[in-house]
Structure 1
Amino acid sequence: MDAQTSKQSMIPGIPNQISARPNETFKAGLLRKGVAWAATLALGGCVLAPGPYMGVAPREDTTTQADGQSAPAEIVQNGITFRLHALNGEMIAQLAAAAAAPFAPSALPRVVPSAYRVRSGDVLRVIVWDHPELNNPGFSALTTSIVSVGATQSTGMPAATSGGNLDPNGRVVQTDGTIYYPYIGRVKVAGLTVDQIRQDIFKRLDKAVSNPQVDVSIASYRSQKIYVSGAVHTPGTISLTDVPESVSDAISGAGGYSQGADLSAATLNRGGKVYPLDLYAFFYDGDVSQNVMLEDGDVINLPERRLKKVFVLGEVNKPVSQIMPVGPFSLSEALSDAGGLNGISANASQVYVFRQGPGRTVDVFQLDAASPGMLVLGDRFELQPRDVVFVDAAHVTRFYRVVSQILPFASSLYLGTEAFK
């Protein structure tokens, strides 16, 4: 073996038996080794480097607007558009201002308090003083206690006894809106106030009784009702009386709201149209615009707060599905209730809040909790019902990978059965 052959045979990976073309053999060996190393590095890169997950194709995390400014990252997956927003002071101020805006008072229906008008089903009590034979049913077997007021005047004080065969409840307004009264027959009373009814009976009765002293009152309010349902102690109907009824009166009449009531999501149903009521703003912030006056047929509903949940997932010590308390609930509180971030596996710089937006969109807010100053922003960031808080693992990752990890849960949570169509 000559010197050239000995030199080439000492190169690793090259066999001792070489062809007549040593240069070509050498190149072929290097090529085979290079392909092997390239394949190894490629497979290792798929495992170690951040990249696609669950079929999500890699793409840039930010887009550029027409004016050249950076826009939030946007990813479309399974027909859902995920938009990334970095949490900073300006963003939190905007969200807080939008959340603090109360319902427009003009959007709520208004009722001007007025005198009660009798309707079919109400029970009237009609009394003609000094004429017990004309007095209201239930007072038919009345005895008259005479109280002397001088030599020629007396005042008849009606007193009910157990005798008589008339209805003790009074005169019920019939379906045609009338009542029957002696000497004058049927009297139309539906739609009239008590004072109007008294004047009508006086005019008619004056033809049979000289200067009758007529008194009319409502013995039982049975024609007009409001309804209170949901998280109150005694849900049911409440009769409207001559005293105007407000939302707070109705809730008080139903025994008050229960501990699990969602005051900020109350509703008023009037004539088939549903109006939102923020009773938390009324009871705790004194916003009287939410305490509207009620009318016949109104339905007040207080939903339960058990559906008002937030979900804390990912690298936390205790993943939870938590019912929101009464009042504001911040991101820092949610993380604290979940036992805080996992000190070993959590990436504090990648705390995400997924929130359903309009249509098939999801807004994703990212908080860099690695900085103590940013934790203050987390305490100012108020969560909303059905928010999903996700803490990513402590490795370099990208937005599309986080979306792919949360995608099945977010799809079923926000879109329900629509996510599987």
Structure 2
Amino acid sequence: MYLHLANRFKLFAAVLLLSLTPWAVQAEWSSRELPAELSQLGPGDIISVFVWENPELSQEISISPDGNISYPLIGELQAAGITVGGLRKVIEREFRKHLKDPQVTVSLRQVRSYNVFVTGEVMSPGLFQPTGAVTVVQAIAMAGGFTAFATRNNITVYNRFNRKSRLTFDYDSFIAGQPETDDFVLIPGDTVIVR
């Protein structure tokens, strides 16, 4: 009887531990600091602008392909390449020309400017537009995983904005848990090449 209860307790503890693991992983992931490039707005992103005490000026806006937004009362503004907080300051500054002490809130509603490319020996190579930051392993998973011919220990990552920046990733070492291998976050415009 005692042995049976001890086994039940062990089973309960194991189930409890496994059920809490995703929360621990999520907390660890959310505490990682993302590169500054990921916090910048880009073409296609949809933002929400709320102007306190002036709801008629509040709206959702899509950033145009040239990186601008057109806003009532203040005209066209450059939005791509700056952060949400930076855009809020620009909008408030422009509204000060027309309103007394404007209070503006800007939030990112939908990310469409985060593009990564996965090519080479993956099942479905192509352009991917995730809704948030992804790592090398996640990008490969979005591309359907490796083909049978993939060299998994020499994956190359290039960035279109800095062609000299070339990183390598060893998938097999990462999966084996080797501490020197980190599954890093891709930045917009990265190309993952699996040979």
- State the alpha-carbon separation in 2 of the partners of residues 228 and 259 from structure 1: 13
- State the alpha-carbon separation in 2 of the partners of residues 118 and 221 from structure 1: 8
Select the residue among 63, 70, 84 that pairs with 1:172: 63
Matched, 1:216 2:138: no
Aligned length: 158
How far the C-alpha of 1:197 sits from its partner, in A, is 0.5
Q: Check the 8 A contact 1:128/1:134 in 2, yes or no.
A: yes
In structure 2, relative to structure 1, the CA distance for the partners of 1:229 and 1:267 (3 Å cut) is same
How far the C-alpha of 1:269 sits from its partner, in A, is 3.1
For each residue in 1:292-327, what CA deviation from the matched residue of structure 2 results, as whole angstroms up to 9, or x when unmatched?
332232211334xxxxxxxxxxxxxxxxxxxxxxxx
Select the residue among 35, 39, 42 that pairs with 1:113: 35
Q: Check the 8 A contact 1:240/1:296 in 2, yes or no.
A: no
Q: Check the 8 A contact 2:63/2:80 in 1, yes or no.
A: no
Bigger relative contact order, structure 1 or 2 (CA pairs below 8 A, ≥6 apart): 2
Q: Check the 8 A contact 2:35/2:187 in 1, yes or no.
A: no
Query: How large is the Cα RMSD of the aligned pairs?
Result: 3.1
Q: Check the 8 A contact 2:155/2:192 in 1, yes or no.
A: yes
SS of residue matched to 2:70: strand
**Which structure would you say has the larger Rg?**
1
Q: Check the 8 A contact 2:115/2:129 in 1, yes or no.
A: yes
Q: Check the 8 A contact 2:48/2:107 in 1, yes or no.
A: yes
Unaligned runs of 5+ in 2: 1-32
- State the alpha-carbon separation in 2 of the partners of residues 135 and 199 from structure 1: 15
Select the residue among 145, 152, 156 that pairs with 1:267: 156
TM-score, normalised with respect to structure 1: 0.33
Q: Check the 8 A contact 1:279/1:290 in 2, yes or no.
A: no
| Identical columns (%) | 30
Residues 3-402 of structure 1 aligned to structure 2 (within 5 Å): 113-114=35-36, 116-137=39-60, 170-175=61-66, 177-239=67-129, 244-255=133-144, 257-258=145-146, 260=148, 261-271=150-160, 272=163, 275-303=167-195
Unaligned runs of 5+ in 1: 1-110, 138-169, 304-421
How far the C-alpha of 1:237 sits from its partner, in A, is 2.1
TM-score, normalised with respect to structure 2: 0.64
How far the C-alpha of 1:226 sits from its partner, in A, is 1.1
